Amino acid sequence: MPMSGATQQQLVILGATGSIGANTLDVVARHPDRYSVFALTANRDVERMAHLCLRFSPRYAVMANEDAANELRKKLRAESCPTEVLGGARALSGVACEPEVDAVMAAIVGAAGLTPTFDAVCAGKKVLLANKEALVMSGRLFMDAVAAADACLLPIDSEHNAIFQSLPDDYRRDPEAAGVRRILLTGSGGPFRNASLAQLETVTPEDACNHPVWNMGRKISVDSATLMNKGLEVIEARWLFGVSASQIEVVIHPQSIIHSMVDYVDGSVVAQLGNPDMRVPIAHALAWPQRIASGVSALDFFGIGAMSFERPDPERFPCLDLAYRALEAGGDAPATLNAANEESVQAFLDRRIGFRRIAEIIAATLERAPRQEVETLDAVLEADIRAREIARDEIGKRSAP
């Protein structure tokens, strides 16, 4: 029987036109009795946003780009759609912090998501975190804000969602008592798992975005190909679960059926398994602590047949070690790593640099940027700007004429 309107959860989806946004709306559409879309946000994809507004009738639609907001407003008026259109980055935080909002899906890609995600945390919302860059950049500040506002933070990244499911319910209250030895973060190894160094010199953006298992946005697809995605996830796990870098081990598991594992001191290893489909962690976090259908089929063990495991290769994939180094350096080093990565990935996608230059540029930026402590969100945003300037200079040195 459908629930009454009053018990529906009001959702804001930051980054609604992206890959996580689409998967979230797919799950939401299966449960109209439980969820109602309060606001959808995007950067500039007017066509897609207009389609989503007509389909989900949110109270608000926000376009970070003002021109795109004006265009969307005209389009929706012509269709007599009652959704109110807002423009500009500030409106992202505005809708996420509205008192009626119960949960915020943070699915903007990159540093652009930091401020609205942080603001949603400070407003004490239930925050479903896909935007790992926000947590990588602000680390301790972010987790302190979660505690201060008593926000409910649930991981959407499939690995972290798996770890969350493999830890005891009261883990955050007494992490010591849980007896965690290691966190085993699994990864598919990306599209270049078996490529030689020579082959990596000539791979194209199309090759990098052709992931063997996951269909994702372009930036995270390149991150998966360099293994920087795993590096960012190591930093994400450090903050979400309060473990040290030395307790987090990356395991390459090409079938992507085990989404991560927790190794306990008594020798038990607890894992979460499932088909590689982001609707699984999204449905888990939306309904937690209950369970709802996600539209994903049951796992077929006989179809999988065998599962394999490998060590990551630091020579072909240096980004993973760079992330461990930034985590150990602390302060603004993770924000520097993230900024240099975003700039060099964009340069690679624009064909200004080759694939292997990405790691070189990040390493050079980490060398050159002065390492500083960060006590405020503004300090994090300043570190981001500083690092981007250095990274652009390093990109210039390596760009094809």
List 45, 119, 343, 384, residue binding ligand NAD (CB under 6 A): 45
Which is nearer to ligand NAD, 19 or 83 (by Cβ)? 19
Which is nearer to ligand NAD, 109 or 208 (by Cβ)? 109
Instruction: Kindly list the residues in this chain that would bind Mg ion in the complex (CB under 5 A).
Output: 157-159
Q: Which of residues 47-66 bind ligand NAD (CB under 6 A)?
A: 64
* Interface stretch with ligand NAD, choices 12-20, 202-210, 254-262, 294-302 (CB under 6 A): 12-20
List 83, 115, 131, 224, residue binding ligand NAD (CB under 6 A): 131
In the bound complex, what is the minimum distance in angstroms from residue 130's beta carbon to ligand NAD?
3
Interaction of residue 19 with ligand NAD, rule CB under 6 A? yes
In the bound complex, what is the minimum distance in angstroms from residue 364's beta carbon to ligand NAD?
23
In the bound complex, what is the minimum distance in angstroms from residue 86's beta carbon to ligand NAD?
12
In the bound complex, what is the minimum distance in angstroms from residue 365's beta carbon to ligand NAD?
20
Which is nearer to ligand NAD, 177 or 385 (by Cβ)? 385
The token pair at 390 is 């250095």
Q: What's the gap between Cα 208 and its chain centre?
A: 18
CA distance 28 to 22: 10
Interaction of residue 83 with ligand NAD, rule CB under 6 A? no
CA distance 75 to 84: 12
In the bound complex, what is the minimum distance in angstroms from residue 157's beta carbon to Mg ion?
4
Interaction of residue 20 with ligand NAD, rule CB under 6 A? yes
Question: 99: which residues sit within 8 A by CB, 6+ positions away?
Answer: none
In the bound complex, what is the minimum distance in angstroms from residue 197's beta carbon to ligand NAD?
26
Q: Strands 60-63, 35-42: parallel, antiparallel or unpaired by DSSP?
A: parallel
* Interface stretch with ligand NAD, choices 104-112, 318-326, 334-342, 390-398 (CB under 6 A): 104-112
Which is nearer to Mg ion, 232 or 362 (by Cβ)? 232
List 10, 11, 12, 21, residue binding ligand NAD (CB under 6 A): 21
Which is nearer to ligand NAD, 119 or 133 (by Cβ)? 133
By the 8 A CB rule, do 160 and 272 touch? no
List 73, 125, 132, 253, residue binding ligand NAD (CB under 6 A): 132
List 123, 124, 175, 214, residue binding ligand NAD (CB under 6 A): 214
Chain residues binding ligand NAD by CB under 6 A are: 15-21, 42-43, 45, 64, 107-109, 112, 130-133, 157, 214, 216-217, 219-220, 278
